[in-house]
Structures are given as structure tokens and as C-alpha cells.
Amino acid sequence: MLRVGHRPGRDPRLTTHLALTARALGARRLLLHPPDPELAARLAAVSERWGRGFEVLGIADYRRAIREFDGTRAHLTMYGEPIERVLPRLRKERRILAIVGGAKVPAELYGLADVNLAVGHQPHSEVAALAILLERLRGIPPPGRWPEARASIVPQRRGKRVRTHGGGSR
């Protein structure tokens, strides 16, 4: 996933939600423009505790990252083609870079992407758009321990239970 237009100090919560959603639904990394080392460190701590080495890489030049990506570049925008029209093509792709813009999306993103796709054609959250795209492409991961996790959630009807690996639960 590529987040373009992140505003350090102003957007940490939204970008964190994008990253957590991407991680939970199977993405491997977040390319963050511009870089935000504090946010990257917080997200690394999540992966350390909950598993599956999701990485955050700060990048200075998002244009170069898009141009050099070896795969399909999918820009999430409410102005794009309906997701139902684009999904058959995306499901055949080996690698997909989901591009999510910030508050002011550079117009050039529409031309840099291989596909501009919309999960709806009304204003909505970029977190929702990313979640819908990843769920449609990959499905929902089943409950259980992720590789190298120090903790995992124990699904249950009521209450909360977290199992710590290497000893006890709380």
C-alpha cells in the first residue's frame, strides 16, 4: 500500500488506521509519503506484538515508487471505475500496489495508476475503501496466531481474551 500526502503531526490517526487495516487484511508493507519515523515505530511495535512482519517504509518520492512498482498500481478514488468492473482483472495480478491519497490528492495520481477504482461514488473514508478492496481480493483472515506473534486474540461470544505466547493469558 502507498499512502500519498500523509501530514505528520496532523494525520497520524487516519494513517495508523489505514496501516492497521492493511496489515490485518494481508498487506505486507506501507510506503509512506512523506516519511514519518514516529508513526513507523508505533506500527512496528504492533507487528512485534501481534505478528506478521508488516513494515512501514518512508519514501521521499512517491512518483518514483509508483513508476518503479513491478505490478498493477490501483488508485482508490471515489471518481474511479466501479470495483465490480475492476476486480476480475485485479484478481489475476500477482502484485498490486493500492494507492491511497491524503487530504489533497495530486491530480497526477490518476495518470500514474494503471487503474482508478471506486468502492462507491459518494464521499467516504479511505480506510473503508482499502478494507473493501482487500476483503474482496483476499478475504478475511481466520482467527489464530500469526507468525512470530507474542499475543493473539481468543475469539469468544462475550468479553475479551488475549493469549500471550510463551506464558499465560489476560
What's 37's domain CATH number? 3.40.1280.10
- Tell me the whole-structure pTM to 2 decimals: 0.89
Local structure of residue 134 (DSSP, 8 states): H
Q: 491524503: which residue's cell?
A: 102
Check pLDDT > 50 for residue 31: yes
The residue type at 115: V
Same domain? For 54 and 70 the reply is yes
Are residue 97 and residue 122 in the same domain, yes or no?
Answer: yes
Could you tell me what percent of the chain has a pLDDT over 70?
Answer: 96
Q: How confident is the model at residue 59 (pLDDT cuts 50, 70, 90)?
A: very high
Q: Which pLDDT belongs to residue 42? A: 93
Task: For residues 67 and 10, state if they share a domain.
Answer: yes
Q: Which domain holds residue 158?
A: 143-170
The number of domains in the chain is 2
Query: Is 102 found in the same domain as 156?
Result: no
Q: Are residues 169 and 133 in the same domain?
A: no
- Are 39 and 99 members of one domain? yes
Q: Rounded to an integer, what distance in angstroms lies between the CA atom of residue 160 and that of residue 29?
A: 28
Tell me, yes or no, whether 131 and 149 share the same domain: no
Same domain membership, residue 153 and residue 120: no
46 and 125 assigned to the same domain: yes
Sign of the CA dihedral 125, 92, 51, 158? positive
Tens of pLDDT, residue by residue over 105-156, are: 889 999 999 999 999 999 889 999 999 999 999 999 887 778 889 999 999 9
> For the chain, what is the radius of gyration of the CA atoms?
17
- Helix/strand/coil for 74: strand
